Structure 1
């Protein structure tokens, strides 16, 4: 049976803030909606599920993020994920210029967890704490001319 990657879904505390962050990095909004009803309760496994959602896509069309802000049930705040915890870890993006991307992130109050690393002169990498505590990895391919 063939399988195709569809998207990564991330619950956020402020949908507009998250959309602004990811669109400033270069993603585009494919659509927005408010979802609720029996189908949503069944699919998600929450009674009274009601959320605002936005689907974003990378410029090359291969990657999608579904961001959702819960209206009901009330969202549960948790501690931000740390890099060594089991479970959803991070979302990663290739960028043309990591310094430019980090500047964009900084304008949103989002900064690297430690700094920018150089992996074998092939990549410059940084983990950024994004909106709602999401870990976002930015990677610049140094082998591209």
Structure 2
């Protein structure tokens, strides 16, 4: 059976802030809208499901991110995931220039959890806490340059 990753979906507190963060990192918005009705109730498993959504794509056209802000039922705040929590963990992006990506993240109030590490002179990488507490890994391939 062939299988293809379609997208990664993330519920956010503020859709506009999340779109701004990810588009500033280089993703583009493919579409926006709202979803509701019986089909979403069935697919998602929530009665009265109603959400604002946006689908974003990476510049290479391979990765897609679906962001959704719940209108109903009311979104439930949870503590932000930590790197060692079980379950959905983080989203990772390759970047050409990690310093530039971090400067972009900083304009959104997002900073490394601890710092930038270098792995075997191959990658520079870090985790930042993005909008709505999303863990975002940024990695620069040092062998690419």
**Gaps in structure 1 of 5+ consecutive residues:** none
**Gaps in structure 2 of 5+ consecutive residues:** none
Post-superposition shift, 1:66? 0.1
CA distance in 1 between partners of 2:112 and 2:44 (Å): 32
CA distance in 2 between partners of 1:29 and 1:97 (Å): 22
For the residue of structure 2 that corresponds to 1:87, the secondary structure is coil
1:25-54 alpha-carbon deviations (Å, 9 max, x no partner): 000000001000000000000000000000
- 1:10 and 2:17 equivalent? no
For the residue of structure 2 that corresponds to 1:41, the secondary structure is helix
Equivalent residues in 2 for 1:1-145 (5 A)?
1-145=1-145
Aligned residues: 145
CA distance in 2 between partners of 1:127 and 1:35 (Å): 31
For the residue of structure 2 that corresponds to 1:42, the secondary structure is helix
CA distance in 1 between partners of 2:61 and 2:112 (Å): 26
Post-superposition shift, 1:79? 0.2
Post-superposition shift, 1:62? 0.4
Post-superposition shift, 1:81? 0.2
Post-superposition shift, 1:89? 0.4
For the residue of structure 2 that corresponds to 1:9, the secondary structure is strand
Post-superposition shift, 1:142? 0.1
Runs of 4+ in 1 over 6 A off after TM superposition: none
The Cα RMSD (Å) is 0.3
CA distance in 2 between partners of 1:84 and 1:140 (Å): 22
For the residue of structure 2 that corresponds to 1:111, the secondary structure is coil
For the residue of structure 1 that corresponds to 2:100, the secondary structure is helix
Which TM-score applies when normalising by structure 2? 0.99
Post-superposition shift, 1:97? 0.2
Which TM-score applies when normalising by structure 1? 0.99
Post-superposition shift, 1:126? 0.6
For the residue of structure 1 that corresponds to 2:82, the secondary structure is coil
